[in-house]
Amino acid sequence: MSEIIQDLSLEDVIGDRFGRYSKYIIQERALPDVRDGLKPVQRRILYAMYSSGNTYDKGFRKSAKSVGDVIGQYHPHGDTSVYDAMVRLSQDWKLRHVLIEMQGNNGSIDNDPAAAMRYTEAKLSKISAELLRDINKDTVPFMPNYDDTTTEPMVLPARLPQLLINGSTGISSGYATDIPPHNLAEVIQATLKYIDNPDITVNQLMKYVKGPDFPTGGIIQGVNGIKKAYETGKGKIIVRSKVDVETLRNGRKELVVTEVPYEVNKSSLVKKIDELRADKKVDGIVEVRDETDRTGLRIAIELKKDVNSESVANYLYKNTDLQVAYNFNMVAISDGRPKLMGIREIIDSYLNHQIDVVTRRTRHELDQAESRMHIVEGLMKALSVLDEVIHIIRNSKNKQDAKVNLVDEFDLTDAQAEAIVTLQLYRLTNTDIVQLREEHDELKALIDKLRNILDNHDALLNVIKEELSDIRKRFKQDRLSTIEAEIEEIKIDKEVMVPSENVIVSMTNHGYIKRTSLRSYNASGVEEVGVKSGDALFRHAEVNTLDTVLIFTNKGRYLFIPVHKLAEVKWKELGQHVSQIVSIDEDEYVIDMQFERQFETDAYYILATRNGMIKKSNVSMFKTSRFNKPLIAMKLKQGDELLNVMRIDSSQLITVLTNKGMSLTYMSDELSDTGLRAAGVKSINLKDGDHVVMTQLVEEGQTILMATQRGALKRISFKVLQVAKRAQRGITLLKELKKAPHRIVAAEVVTPEHTQYTLYSKDQQETGEINSIHLSEQYTNGSFVVDINEFGEVEQLTVK
């Protein structure tokens, strides 16, 4: 052999070969033909089984034989790919109307593989006969098979719109297709309406084709998505499982799933739900059971008592394949190339195919009828001169001589002469002429009818309509999938995701926060809290894991942290700094911590600043879905900072104390409801060089404890306060000294539950009994409790 070496660049070779490969798999493997809705391997399987007589009206035959026929004659590929395609055509959870009936294990909705082809048996289904009907009447073009030993159809006659009825899915090079199954009766009805009115709109067609009809049922949401898909070929719908709520004998409820979305693996779905239960991602599920049997699909999800079943279902819709999105991508081979098509184009292509099929069939039948008519006329002519015909035949040398003599004598054609000389003697009876005349009349009527179909387009369309109507009558089934117009928004109740549990949440002065179990807290006691040296417990409270912590900072911002997102640590451990949960500035620190569950609209937060500004905002405004950064609670002016946060759900007294000993008390009603970004209004009219030390709620029976920088404490009763209007200067509580005046550095509203106070300097702290500080109604500076020469200037006061 002579050696031929071509010098080609790798880019050209790869590009050319991949281009050829892509064209092949697009046209000859992965995408269905719009006319019969079949991929080449599916078409070859059906035709091979039809050719070998493996039809619905006969017995089952080993699948291996059918696969062998397909591989040997039409599809020279691996037997696994052919058998897999054959199995899929028999799975009633994949196809709305199966094209192959199979005996034996043909897989399951759990994605179990089918038994090997040597074990299963198969035959064509009854509806497949409609795809292959009239294929021997020259209705479709044939082409040579791969080795030129026989021919195979390029497309099947497909007397029903198979592409829409059973849908298709496939991936090729650069193209993919996802066409959902539809209801046979609806699709045929829409086709009939299209025949009557080719200008029918998609909206009008949707009166008949409501939407997809999946073999697994389910609930389809989103009519707009269906309409868009039918117009453009692309669209999105939501497919949701059918879920019912049943009550068990023990009073518990269970969610019962009887229909799942199309092409969802049931066993994987059950496994995923059980994993969510085991990992405690969803609270309230006791057990998940797959109770599917021969009567139908059934998944039972048993719930705890008093759990909201709708909330659990919504969570599962959101986080499992109990609900999925289905994206239409209606790509099919049209005129030899892939095309994205809407429903009108698909029906139009199918109708054009049927016009071609019926035209070719009619021509074929007309040719046969005219040939038979010609023979019948010759036989009738021969019977009229029977004696002479017999005489000529007896005197002829052989058959060929007899044919020539008959043609010459009676002006017959060669075909007529052939029919006469091969006529059997028993048919030469007087009654035979009557039968021939009846057959002649029938043939004449048939020929007239067939010619009318070919000459009259409306008559041809009527034939298509009659045959489609007959198929619709014989194969129609009730719709399995329910269609809902709107896509339902899934609202997930936090109570479903988080186990409800009471815990202790604590915060230290330096901003360390932790969540502790009641068991750990009770075992250690409040005094054994884990804190750093120089730090102290600022606040702790028993809350629920379903609550939310709102942490306010000096910069007028707040951190939104769900309690369940806090790491659970022991009471003796330190916890984590809030900056590790939500990033805050270096000079920003925590000033208060509040807890919310429902974020009620009839409650308010009052925020007060060092420079005498105050505002009231509805609690509901603080609800957010953003946890990762601080949010604005109050807009602060330059040099100002947030001091106090109060929560009220009714009108209450607010008392304000300043550094220079001024006091103002007024009702919270004087504050109007404002947004989070508002700067607020003036709370108290400050003197030059003065600033607010405390703004808190106060009520009768409470007292106010004040600490000065010189180590003095003064405690006043509620009746000393004078209720006035907001933004006034207020009354003086401290006696002004010319030399080393007292200045209030900290103050707290004291309730009857408070028994101890603690004073803090830079390096030391001093604890004492609150009741040891006598109530003062005089214009004094209080009593010294520490010596600042030894203790240092007082900076902070706490009560507990």
C-alpha distances in Å from residue 788, one per residue of 56, 735, 792, 799:
106, 19, 4, 20
| Rg of the chain taking only CA atoms, in angstroms | 45
The string of pLDDT tens digits covering residues 375-401 is: 888 888 888 888 888 888 888 888 898
Q: Residue 545 has what pLDDT?
A: 86
Length of the chain: 800
Residue 302's nearest CA partner among 294, 317, 291 is: 291
**How far, in Å, CA of 546 to CA of 308, rounded?**
15
C-alpha distances in Å from residue 267, one per residue of 108, 274, 312:
10, 11, 19
Residue 156's nearest CA partner among 67, 63, 42 is: 42
**How far, in Å, CA of 471 to CA of 464, rounded?**
11
Q: What pTM, to 2 d.p., does this model score? A: 0.73
The dihedral through the CA atoms of 663, 668, 670, 671 has a sign that is positive
Residue 365's nearest CA partner among 461, 448, 447 is: 447
Strand-by-strand arrangement of the 604-609 sheet: 642-648, 604-609, 613-618, 681-682
Amino acid at 772: S
Residue 257's nearest CA partner among 296, 285, 286 is: 296
Q: Residue 350 has what pLDDT?
A: 96
The tokens for 252 are 């518990």
Q: Is 462 helix (H, G, I), strand (E, B) or coil?
A: helix
In sequence order, which ranges of 108-214 are alpha helices (DSSP H)? 128-132, 162-166, 184-196, 202-205
The string of pLDDT tens digits covering residues 182-196 is: 999 999 999 999 999
Q: Dihedrals φ, ψ of 288, to 5°? A: -120, 125
Buried b (16+ CB within 10 A) or exposed e, 739-766: eeebbbbbbbbbeeebeebebbbeeeee
Q: Residue 430 has what pLDDT?
A: 58
Q: Residue 6 has what pLDDT?
A: 84
Identify the burial level of 168 via C-beta atoms within 10 angstroms of its C-beta, where 0-12 means exposed, 13-18 middle and 19 or more buried. Answer: buried
C-alpha distances in Å from residue 561, one per residue of 159, 376, 600, 619, 631:
64, 96, 17, 15, 11
Q: Residue 408 has what pLDDT?
A: 83
Q: Which long-range contacts (CB under 8 A, 24 or more apart) does 517-523 make?
A: 517/568, 518/542, 520/570, 520/571, 520/572, 521/571, 523/571
The dihedral through the CA atoms of 223, 228, 229, 230 has a sign that is positive
**How far, in Å, CA of 624 to CA of 627, rounded?**
8
Q: Residue 530 has what pLDDT?
A: 86
Just list the catalytic residues.
119
The tokens for 85 are 């395609």
Amino acid at 535: D
237: DSSP letter:
E
Identify the structural domains of the chain with CATH numbers, from first to last.
38-157 (3.90.199.10), 242-321 (3.30.1360.40), 360-470 (1.10.268.10)
Reported in sequence order, the residue ranges of 567-612 that DSSP labels E, i.e. its strands, are: 576-577, 590-596, 604-609
Q: Residue 15 has what pLDDT?
A: 86
Amino acid at 157: P
Low-confidence stretches of the chain (pLDDT < 50) are: none
Q: Are 302 and 254 in contact (CB under 8 A)?
A: yes
**How far, in Å, CA of 129 to CA of 131, rounded?**
5
The helix/strand count (H/E) of the chain reads as 21, 41
Q: Are 34 and 26 in contact (CB under 8 A)?
A: no
Buried b (16+ CB within 10 A) or exposed e, 415-439: ebbbbbbebeeeeeeeeeeeebeeb
Q: Are 715 and 669 in contact (CB under 8 A)?
A: no
Q: Residue 279 has what pLDDT?
A: 82
Q: Residue 48 has what pLDDT?
A: 96
Q: Are 678 and 621 in contact (CB under 8 A)?
A: no
